[in-house]
């Protein structure tokens, strides 16, 4: 996946948020504004070409001085699907760029 293509889909409002991502967004107090800002200013941190749900990637961005991770894939009509969104923290993350060694790549 290409970050500029993801950013363009977000700008054009061509994305959907999965039920799981919506629950995580609510639990982490991440607003739609935060989500869109983090992706729009973000970078691809990890790529998952072999994801059984389809190629996806982990985007790291920031909103309101908070790091936000977003796992993005594609819908059948080539919109962006937000699979999950969360604030990176222990026990899976040392910081927003460093996964705990031996940590599973399931974000």
DSSP character at residue 100: P
Residue range 3-58, pLDDT digits in tens: 999 999 999 999 999 999 999 999 999 999 999 999 999 999 999 999 988 999 99
Write the CB contacts of 107 (distance below 8 Å, at least 6 apart in sequence). Answer: 46, 58, 69, 71, 83, 84, 86
Is residue 31 a part of any domain in this protein? yes
**What is the span of the domain harbouring residue 36?**
3-99
Domain count within the chain: 1
> For the residues 64-81, what does the mean pLDDT come to?
96
> Is residue 65 domain-resident?
yes
Q: Is 58 helix (H, G, I), strand (E, B) or coil?
A: strand
Per the domain annotation, does 50 fall within a domain? yes
User: Is residue 107 domain-resident?
Assistant: no
Element housing 27 (H / E): helix 19-27
Domain-embedded: residue 57: yes
- pLDDT value for 83: 97
Q: What is the pLDDT of residues 86-101, one digit of tens each?
A: 999 999 999 999 999 8
Please report whether residue 74 resides in a domain: yes
Q: Is residue 73 part of a domain?
A: yes
């Amino acid at each position: 996946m290409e970050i500029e293509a993801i950013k363009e889909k977000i700008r054009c409002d061509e994305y959907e948020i999965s039920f799981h991502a919506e629950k995580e967004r609510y639990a982490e107090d991440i607003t739609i504004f935060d989500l869109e800002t983090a992706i729009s200013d973000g970078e691809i941190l990890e790529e998952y070409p072999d994801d059984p749900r389809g190629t996806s990637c982990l985007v790291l961005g920031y909103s309101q001085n908070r790091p936000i991770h977003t796992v993005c894939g594609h819908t059948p009509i080539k919109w962006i699907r937000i699979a999950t969104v969360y604030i990176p923290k222990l026990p899976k993350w040392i910081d927003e760029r460093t996964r705990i060694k031996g940590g599973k790549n399931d974000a």
